[in-house]
Structure 1
Amino acid sequence: MTSPSDKRASGNPAKQAEIELTLKQQREQKRQEKLAAYQKQIARRRRSKAVWWVVGSVASLAVIGLVVASFVFAPAPAPSYQAGSSTGDVPEGVQTFENRSDHVQGAVTYEQNPPAGGPHNPYWLNCGVYTEPQQNENAVHSLEHGAIWITYDPARVDEAGVDALKAVMPSSYAILSPYPDMDTPVAVSGWNHQLKVDDPTDPRIADFFTEFWRSQNVPEPNASCSGAVDGPGKA
């Protein structure tokens, strides 16, 4: 029997050398082809890892960005005041009155404008932000419970001013509403106390809250400021 190598063998040394060289070249070519295929496979794996790394990094950065944005652009929390924390340090310009606190039906002519106490409707105005004027008689009942009522003349206080007033309001026991034709741009009223200012950013507004918010000296301290009447324009 003749082997394949015998078939490729030649009695001519030159011819035999040529055959052997050709076989070596073929083996080297196959080796190079295998090496090239392996290198391509490694390159594909590297590219795949790089793509996933980039995708993962971008996704991580996006998550971090969302977290940061949630803190940066989140609305500021409402300020907090201590109920009944009156220190006697009354802000400059605060006026003090003596008002009755009986419940009545119908309209009331108040001594102050806006009112800072007096006879009032049996149902109080629910605390919050209003975009329309409110009934005095309901709002005064809220003052009786320790709420603070911020009123502003819409002809003299712009949107930025309204935002400044909102910024000093706590989350409860506070009312904000327009009050046309006041003799001042802004009035801040608690039971038997009132501060009138020209600038909605006046720091005395926050001081008024510190001194009179949920005062224990009102006729009905700790009574609710919700669950009664929602006036028009409740935000």
Structure 2
Amino acid sequence: MADSKNPDQVRQHRAALLKAHWAKEAKAERRRKVLVGAGALTAVAVVGGLVTLALIQDPPPQAREDIEIAGLQTFEGLSANHVSTPVDYEQSPPVGGEHASAWLNCGVYTEPVPNENTVHALEHGAAWVAYDPEALTQEQVNALRTALPDTYVVLAPYEGLDSPIVLSAWQAQVAVDSAEDERIQQFVAKYWQSPDAPEPGAACTGGLDAPGRVA
């Protein structure tokens, strides 16, 4: 049998169905918003609880001044003047003092780096990690490199060290025997980009590349 509804009735019927559909969608949307809001509140509470738990189980890092390093030596009253002549440093490697006007670019070197330019890098907050090439194998040097940050570090061989590895920052120095020594991480945490350097945060690129730079 043919449908007896006229075109107007069909349009009205379709309009009613459409109205009911959108009403149903609007109701569902309101319900979703309520659930999302409740979920957000729950998430905030959960995150707050997790943060509290994390602080209890994994407390925040120590402040720089609270980090104690066995065998650490510190030096006061070092000049930060620029000079154009070689400097006879009291420490070896040096930990500050008069230095060249061009800083050494931070990075990994396979040859000894010039003291005067490297001290300028220390002035900018870099850490200088010197190692005895006769005491460390290449594998140990690679392990040492892995233990260090990628920036604001000069890693280079240094002839005549009293220890296999010597870490220096402006006015501070510690000697260690291996790349596994926990004092390496302690020294980095305390002195890497230290605000106590004369010019912390100044560039450690755009200066001088010494021979043997590989990274």
TM-score by length of 2: 0.68
Is 1:94 matched with 2:78?
no
Q: Is the 8 A contact 2:109 2:155 kept in 1?
A: yes
> Structure 1 regions of 5+ residues with no counterpart?
1-84
Q: Partners in 2 of 1:135 and 1:181 — Cα distance?
A: 15
Q: Counterpart of 1:234 in structure 2: which amino acid? A: R
Q: Is the 8 A contact 2:147 2:179 kept in 1?
A: no
Work out the percentage of aligned pairs sharing the same amino acid. 46
Q: Name 1:113's counterpart in structure 2.
A: 92
Q: Is the 8 A contact 2:98 2:116 kept in 1?
A: yes
RMSD: 1.0
C-alpha distance after superposition, 1:160-199 (max 9, x if no partner): 2101210121121001000011111110000000010122
Q: Is the 8 A contact 1:145 1:218 kept in 2?
A: yes
1:164 alignment partner, one of 131, 143, 159: 143
1:187 alignment partner, one of 166, 187, 193: 166
Give the paired residue count: 151
Q: Name 2:156's counterpart in structure 1.
A: 177
Is 1:129 matched with 2:129?
no
Which runs of at least 4 in structure 1 moved beyond 2 Å after TM superposition? none
Please list, as runs of the form range in 1=range in 2, the aligned pairs for 1:21-170 lying within 5 A after superposition: 86-98=64-76, 99-170=78-149
Cα distance, 1:90 vs structure 2? 2.7
Q: Counterpart of 2:159 in structure 1: which amino acid? A: P
C-alpha distance after superposition, 1:20-54 (max 9, x if no partner): xxxxxxxxxxxxxxxxxxxxxxxxxxxxxxxxxxx
Q: Is the 8 A contact 1:157 1:200 kept in 2?
A: no
Q: Partners in 1 of 2:203 and 2:111 — Cα distance?
A: 22
Q: Counterpart of 2:164 in structure 1: which amino acid? A: P
Q: Name 1:210's counterpart in structure 2.
A: 189
Cα distance, 1:228 vs structure 2? 0.5
Give the match's secondary structure for 1:188.
Answer: strand
C-alpha distance after superposition, 1:85-137 (max 9, x if no partner): 62331311110002211111121010100101111000000000000001000
Q: Partners in 1 of 2:159 and 2:179 — Cα distance?
A: 15
Q: Which structure has the larger Rg?
A: 1
TM-score by length of 1: 0.63
Q: Is the 8 A contact 2:129 2:155 kept in 1?
A: yes
Q: Counterpart of 2:173 in structure 1: which amino acid? A: Q
Cα distance, 1:221 vs structure 2? 1.1
Give the match's secondary structure for 1:114.
Answer: coil
Q: Is the 8 A contact 1:161 1:201 kept in 2?
A: no
Q: Name 2:179's counterpart in structure 1.
A: 200
